[in-house]
Structure 1
Amino acid sequence: MDLKPNIFKAAIARGEPQIGLWCSIGDPLVAEMLAGCGFDWMMFDTEHSPLDSSTITPLLQAVAPYAVSPVVRPASLDPVEIKKLLDCGAQTLLVPFVQSAEEARLAAASVAYPPEGIRGVAGVTRASGFGAIAGYHRRAREEICLLVQIETRTALDALEEIAAVPGVDGVFIGPSDLAASLGFPGEPAHPTVKAAVVDAVKRVRATGKPAGFLNADQTYVAEVMAAGSVFTAVDVDLAILRRGALARAEGWRR
């Protein structure tokens, strides 16, 4: 059994646009249905949803047969949680609220086995094919993709230093927390926030790293993609469900 290649990691390294969907619904049947809808990647969020390390595995299993790359966001920069998500078979992680190069180095260490990192070693895990992948512990980091999330004024000030940390494969700009940090809570599309997001994406690309972004406002998304966002989530599963349900109910009420 061979180590599964991370097609998402390879694509963003080449600068190929990857269109994604943000997911917080914990039903594997929903995940499986969405996996066949044509997105390049799906982001399973354990930070702002009921999902956790115990509920991620069924979602990863549900999307595994499809041509879509799962990304998992841990709830925080926690090496123990990161270790669990990797053992569950996640190959791409989006670590939230990275504020400095020091924190980015901790994230990088958390996804690598010793001597390069601090990831705990286990033998029979889903990630290792339950022990069937030859040389897994030597080669695992080759296919793990580490994305770090910048979402505060402090992080913006350290953007270049964060992006330069060895092991960081991409930098995601989070507009909602960034808006709050800049003094506009609940207004991720405020002109000041938009300008900061566009500038941040350009700065990330100038470092040679791919940049990422999320928003359900398609005009906003197009602007950020034009600025250079490579891995871009264009909607949220719950938002799509709610919009569709509201439109159907309103159509019949008329």
Structure 2
Amino acid sequence: MPLRIEKTFRDALAGQTGKTGRPLAGMWVCSGSPLVAELCAGSGLDWLLVDAEHSPNGLESILAQLQAIHGYPVHTLVRPPVNDTVLVKQYLDLGVQNLLIPMVNSAAEAEAAVAATRYPPQGVRGVGSALARAARWNRVPDYLARANETISVTVQIESDAAVAAVENILAVDGVDAIFVGPSDLAASMGLLGQQEHPEVRAAVEHCLSAAQAAGKPAGVNAFNPDTARHYLANGANFILVGADVALLARGSEALAAQYIKPSDVQKADDDTPSSY
């Protein structure tokens, strides 16, 4: 039976942002575990980001997570480790529909990211859909002609150079949205670890305003609830507010703090053989 083309993150942003909609809330999925990905998929959040830039994810684990998430009412973005044509081709053939491309610092780099998702003559994507999950092994009618409908491209603004070029990046045809990463942005501004610094906030707000002027959605990473609310009030259309590994780390620490006294930890340390 022929299969329909599923809606993309671009469609979700178009349908749930603006005057009558609401911003979309999501979380990172960094563990590399399909089981954890499925747990997060059923959370009720709007979207998940499966990360391969700073997480132990390869092609096989990404595929397994896509399969685990599929069927839940949540949109999945995948971030490759680098803006690379070959990696993008492989991700798309796996069935990734929504890409978050990291470290896009110029319009030329944004154009290269878009070209990697388009078949010739519009781009440079290699043709292998008959062998690929992307077309459900040729079960999606006219996939080659309609592939662009199945893909959304979000580029990440995370350097002072990208902030300076954000208007040009937003103007690139095929860039569906931008996503601001305050951590790397702060580092590039000489403010490593100071995501809440007024200069960093001002740079993020500049990007949000530029996106509004361009008529394109903009998102931002903000684990601090007050910061998240601030950026939402300043026009963010989508936001990341947590991560699977962070939730597990903080939750397990809270259990330890509740049931284990600091003196017990010290005694255990004292009892540990020096040769351990």
Q: What's the TM-score bracket when you normalise by the shorter of the two chains? A: over 0.9
Within the candidate set 48, 70, 73, 1:67 is matched to 73
- Report the alpha carbon displacement of residue 237 of structure 1 after superposing the two structures with TM: 1.1
Corresponding position of 1:9: 10
Within the candidate set 119, 125, 131, 1:119 is matched to 125
Within the candidate set 27, 36, 57, 2:33 is matched to 27
Q: Kindly report which structure 2 residues correspond to 1:132-211, keeping only aligned pairs within 5 A, or say none.
A: 132-211=139-218
TM-score normalised to the size of structure 1?
0.97
Separation (CA, whole Å) in 2 of partners of 1:239 and 1:171:
24
Corresponding position of 1:41: 47
Could you say what the CA RMSD is over the residues aligned between the two structures, in angstroms?
1.2
Quick check: 1:156–1:200 contact (8 Å CA) kept in 2?
yes
Question: CA-to-partner distance for each residue in 1:148-167, whole Å, 9 max, x for gaps?
Answer: 00111111111000001000
- Report the alpha carbon displacement of residue 7 of structure 1 after superposing the two structures with TM: 4.4
Structure 2 residue ranges without an equivalent (≥5): 262-276
TM-score normalised to the size of structure 2?
0.89
- The one-letter code sitting in structure 2 at the alignment partner of 1:180 is A
- Report the alpha carbon displacement of residue 230 of structure 1 after superposing the two structures with TM: 0.9
Q: Indicate the percent of aligned positions where both proteins have the same amino acid.
A: 43
Separation (CA, whole Å) in 2 of partners of 1:4 and 1:18:
22
Structure 1 residue ranges without an equivalent (≥5): none
> Do the aligned partners of residues 3 and 141 (structure 1) sit closer, same or farther apart at CA in structure 2, a change above 3 Å counting?
farther
Within the candidate set 253, 261, 264, 1:246 is matched to 253
- The one-letter code sitting in structure 2 at the alignment partner of 1:9 is R
Corresponding position of 1:214: 221
Quick check: 2:8–2:97 contact (8 Å CA) kept in 1?
no
Q: Report SS of the residue matched to 2:185.
A: helix
Q: Report the count of equivalent residues.
A: 254
> Do the aligned partners of residues 7 and 101 (structure 1) sit closer, same or farther apart at CA in structure 2, a change above 3 Å counting?
closer
- State which structure, 1 or 2, has the greater radius of gyration over its C-alpha atoms: 2
